[in-house]
Amino acid sequence: MKISMTVNGEDVEADVEPRTLLVHFLRDHLGLTGTHWGCDTSNCGTCVVSIDGEPVKSCTTLAAMAAGHEVGTVEGLEKDGVLDPVQDGFMRCHGLQCGFCTPGMMITARALLDRDPDPDEATIREAISGQICRCTGYTTIVRSVRWAAENAHSEQDAEVTS
């Protein structure tokens, strides 16, 4: 079947088998390997991408279900060489160790901050509760998201003035 969608701001079109999962479409057809494939049962959350701004687990979403929609991956967070505040926060606050869950966590954090630009710790923990991190204990992830929330405006202001 032929599908078309917008991925990270670019229109894409491809012929895929109807059973093709979105995670495989992104990785195998488009070469966007930042989206990780973990459990294949939607338990771990490493495969989270956004569809129309909402986080979804791409290992249990058919590529055809994303047809006609805007799909965002971790590769699309940075713009013109400038890291998204979420990416910057994960780097500055050590929000990752092995990095396997990181792309999905970042997509979830971006969606949260788009809805709630100043979430408290409990709200952040609830937002990421559908994702598993076996390395960090979540403290540095929460700290990274808070850093992004606190520094989002200064990053945007710096872009406007430069």
Judge whether residue 123 has pLDDT over 70. Answer: yes
Check whether residue 54 and residue 97 sit in a common domain. Answer: no
Over residues 34-55, mean pLDDT: 92
Per the structure, the count of domains in the chain is 2
At residue 40, the pLDDT reads 76
The CA distance from 106 to 80, in Å, is 18
Q: For position 39, which CATH number holds? A: 3.10.20.30
**111/105 Cα distance (integer angstroms):** 10
Give me the mean pLDDT over the 145-150 stretch. Answer: 98
> Torsion angle of alpha carbons 23, 25, 30, 32, nearest 10°?
0
Q: What is the distance of C-alpha 130 from the center of its chain? A: 13
Where is the domain boundary, 58, 76, 94? Answer: 76
Question: What is the span of the domain harbouring residue 148?
Answer: 85-161
Contact 90/144 with Cβ under 8 angstroms?
yes
Last residue of a domain, one of 30, 49, 76: 76
State the chain's mean pLDDT as an integer.
93
Q: Are residues 71 and 110 in the same domain?
A: no
- Looking at the fold, whether 31 and 71 belong to one and the same domain comes out as yes
- Indicate whether 11 and 71 sit together in one domain: yes
Per-residue confidence band for 142, with pLDDT thresholds at 50, 70 and 90: very high
- Domain-terminating residue out of 16, 50, 76: 76
Percentage of the chain beyond pLDDT 70 is 94
Identify the CATH number of the domain in which residue 110 sits.
1.10.150.120
Do 65 and 11 reside in the same domain of the chain? yes
Shared domain for 37 and 99, answered yes or no, is no
**Angle 133-136-141 from CA coordinates, rounded to 5°:** 85
Q: Are residues 46 and 10 in the same domain?
A: yes
Co-location of 68 and 113 in the same domain: no
- Identify the DSSP state of 43: S
Query: Is pTM, for the whole model, over 0.85?
Result: yes
Are 68 and 115 found together in one domain?
Answer: no
Residue closest to 55 by CA, chosen among 112, 97, 117 = 112
Cβ(53)–Cβ(114) under 8 Å? yes
69-118 pLDDT, tens digit each: 999 999 999 999 999 999 999 999 999 989 999 999 999 999 999 999 99
Where does 51-120 have alpha helices with state H? Answer: 85-92, 102-115
Q: What pLDDT is recorded for position 43?
A: 87
> pLDDT value at position 157?
46
Q: The sheet that has 10-15: what strands, in order across it?
A: 10-15, 2-7, 70-72, 48-51, 54-57
Do 102 and 121 lie in one domain? The reply is yes
- Residues 70 and 98 occupy one common structural domain: no
pLDDT surpasses 80 at 158: no
How far is Cα 37 from Cα 27, in angstroms, rounded to an integer? 9
Are residues 93 and 143 in contact, defined by beta-carbon separation less than 8 angstroms?
A: yes
Q: Are residues 67 and 94 in the same domain?
A: no
